Chains A and B, each alone.
Chain A
Amino acid sequence: MAKYTLKRVLMALLTLFVVACITFFLMHAIPGNPWLSEKTPSEAVINALNEKYGLNEPLIVQLGKYLGNLLRGDLGNSIKMQKNRPVLDIILEMFPVSAQVGVVAILWAVLVGVPLGCLAAYRRGTWVDSLLRVICTIGISMPGFVVATMLLHLLCGTGKPFPALFVSGSLASYVLPCAALGFYPMCYLSRQTRTAMLDAINQEYIKTARAKGLKNKKIIFKHALRNALIPVITYLGPQIAFTLCGGFVVETVFSIPGLGRYFIQSIQNRDYPLIMGTTLFLAAFIIVMNLLVDLAYKLVDPRINLTKGEN
């Protein structure tokens, strides 16, 4: 197990390195530079700024310097959006805002989606199944900005139950963003669960469980669900990372000062260190979640051997 963990950590570092390199070259491949705004500064100013932030050096040298700093835990400073503020600081300020919304969104997606999937599988072919199918198909196929905008339009503003402007700490402000952010994962999870449950319900051990005289509830939730959890967990791992790092669309529509919004804005502004920082943060988060997912497999299914194929 120790060897396995070590291997996974080394793999994670390698992955992060590759992500860093790709992101670095991609972001420099975008036309434009951080200094462009409504008023284009003069050539001399641009050159001076480039020199100040080390952007005049060859890309490979810049990358080397960045990676060197990264090893020391230094993500650099923002060069545009919050000039000269450490990127790490910005992330640590924005992430909790996104995570608060994300945790609630993911929680309701799981707590509603999984049982609904079970219900649809258990009552397959009935109107309940059909109704859930329609709702989930809508949820999966409707873009996030439509859901968010509709909720905003219908329920926010003066005389309506929810405030149009996000106020940190106000409970009412959290309701709609969480609902909008969790809707897609909820629908997707529900469909996943249904498929996996149908597969599990047709297994022979379910017949055994019925022959033993167990109650339906126990058969579904104890015997079938645990066997159906693997695909659900697989999806959930990276999805948690994405959701906690903030949905860009939802954060924009509800004007939440979260990481998701910053992620996109940093690209629009060519704030190079901030792009690198947010991307690496998300990548690291996803890697950690995938590791947790693999460990969770073992908890759910004792047959899974994580260290298989190693000596």
Chain B
Amino acid sequence: MENVQQHDKKLHDSAHAQDALGKNLLEVKDLQVSFFTPAGEVKAVGGISYNLKYGEVMGIVGESGSGKSVEAYSIIGLLQSPGKVIGGSITFEGEDVLAKSKEEMIAFRGSKVAMIFQNPMTCLNPVYTIGNQLIEALKAHDKEVSKEEAAKRAMEMLELVGINNVEKRMKQYPHELSGGMRQRVMIAMGLICHPQLLIADEPTTALDVTIQAQILELMKQIQKKTHMGIIFITHNLGVVAEICDKVSVMYAGKMVEQGPVDDIFYQPSHPYTEGLLRSMPRVDAESYERLIPIEGTPVDMLNPPEGCPFAPRCEKAMKICLQKMPPYVEVGEGHRSACWLRVQEQLNKKKEAGGHE
């Protein structure tokens, strides 16, 4: 009985989250993460800031090594040595995440924030049954739940993520399920404690395209049902368009552009974002149109260039780009970009405005 009440309370909590829509669930301010390698300090994340509201889905886009996963790992406290948060703050529901003790982080992980990973083939422990791993996730945060109740909840979650024949699945081992099915299990496992935030680290990258679409559809549905916030890490802009409310574009550990998903797609205001969009196939393109790759190679994070990290590859680079990191410029509502071109435009606008007076 008590367990049923608790279950209801959790549901109520998510309803409560609905009331909180519009408030900030997660605030990241000037987060800096470095890896202290024998070759020197690698600034994997060099001062990024963003807010995530309750029930909002944010995409983090960037190429490999741009620091998007590292950033997410620091939220959930999974940074592996020699990685270390060296500056900034992470606030979750008003609580300072970085100030939490080890024990508090263990209680925090899985219950408030869940994470799902790229490769469902290797993310489930091969020697335990699906049921065992699901129940364990629940029991880690709910000590009083009985075995039967936990099993019941696990089966409910499996049904929620669209797995049939759940009683049989509970007794199966990961290698007996397909990749798409395993990713569904991972999602079910992430959601079993009703977290407010789900971090999805390239959850569809390792799946084939039809399964990708299914998993995305599933995540969208679940997001609607539970109203949790989602941080969606990907390098696939198509996925972003599909599921996200807003997007942060990362390059070399910096957030170069951030804004609502439509703005990013239709009014990109950073040359890197433009480049990303040009290198992506489009349905509405002429049949003979070529994809244009971004020239050059990613930055060597051990010796990042001065100024804007994208400048060496940027076709619009100016002298100042190589000397100083541009400040953020608001280019629309909730849409900001770190590019000297935008700074220049803004100055011109001000001048014009001044000239009219």
Contacts and interface: CB of A to CB of B under 8 A. Distances in A.
Nearest to B103: A215
A65 interface: no
Given A208-B186, A212-B189, A214-B136, A223 B110 contact: no
Contacts of B141: 213
A301 B127 contact: yes
Contact of A211 (B115, B122, B175): B115
B140 A301 contact: no
The 7 A-B residue pairs with the shortest CB-CB distance in the complex, in nearest-first order: A213-B110, A213-B109, A204-B122, A205-B125, A211-B115, A212-B110, A212-B137
A211 B123 CA distance: 11
A203 B190 CA distance: 18
Nearest to B81: A125
B111 A208 contact: no
A215 B140 CA distance: 8
Interface in A189-229: 203-205, 207-215, 218, 223, 226-227
A58 interface: no
B126 A211 contact: no
Contact of B124 (A208, A210, A213): A208
B173 interface: yes
B173 A214 contact: no
Given A212-B189, A213-B111, A227-B126, A207 B137 contact: no
B140 A214 contact: yes
Given A204-B117, A303-B175, A212 B140 contact: yes
23 contacts: A205-B122, A205-B124, A205-B125, A205-B126, A208-B123, A208-B189, A209-B125, A210-B109, A211-B115, A212-B110, A212-B140, A213-B110, A213-B111, A214-B106, A214-B140, A218-B140, A226-B127, A227-B125, A227-B127, A301-B127, A302-B127, A302-B173, A303-B173
Given A210-B109, A223-B128, 4 more contacts: A208-B189, A218-B136, A303-B127, A303-B173
B125 A210 contact: no
A52 to B, nearest CB: 60
Interface of A: 203-205, 207-215, 218, 223, 226-227, 300-303
A214 B110 CA distance: 8
B107 interface: yes
Nearest to A301: B127
A215 B139 CA distance: 11
A204 B111 contact: no
Contacts of A209: 125
Interface of A is mostly: helix
B122 A213 contact: no
Contact of A215 (B78, B106, B115): B106
A211 B173 CA distance: 20
Interface in B40-71: none
Nearest to A203: B122
Contacts of B78: 207, 210-211
Contacts of B107: 213
Contacts of A212: 109-110, 114, 136-137, 140, 189
Nearest to A209: B125
A207 B189 contact: no
A205 B123 contact: yes
Contacts of B140: 212-215, 218
A165 to B, nearest CB: 48
Interface in B155-180: 173, 175
A210 B189 CA distance: 13
A214 to B, nearest CB: 5
B179 to A, nearest CB: 14
Nearest to A300: B127
B185 to A, nearest CB: 11
B126 A207 contact: no
A300 to B, nearest CB: 7
Contacts of B123: 204-205, 207-208
Nearest to A206: B125
A211 B125 contact: no
A211 B203 CA distance: 15
Interface in B57-110: 76, 78, 106-110
Contact of A301 (B76, B111, B126): B126
Contacts of B190: 211
B119 interface: yes
A223 B125 contact: yes
Contacts of A223: 125, 128
Nearest to A214: B140
A306 to B, nearest CB: 15
Contacts of B136: 212, 214, 218
Nearest to B134: A212
Contacts of A226: 127-128
A230 to B, nearest CB: 10
Interface in B189-239: 189-190
Contacts of B186: 208
Residue from B106, B125, B141, B186 with most neighbouring chain A CB atoms (10 Å): B125
Interface string B342-357: 0000000000000000
B114 A211 contact: yes
Residue from B107, B119, B140, B141 with most neighbouring chain A CB atoms (10 Å): B140
Given A213-B107, A213-B140, A208 B125 contact: yes
Contacts of B119: 204
A226 B123 CA distance: 16
Contacts of A302: 126-127, 173, 175
B127 A211 contact: no
A154 B128 CA distance: 48
A294 B140 CA distance: 33
A204 B76 CA distance: 16
Contacts of B108: 213
A302 B124 CA distance: 13
A211 B124 contact: no
B323 to A, nearest CB: 40
A302 to B, nearest CB: 5
A227 B128 CA distance: 10
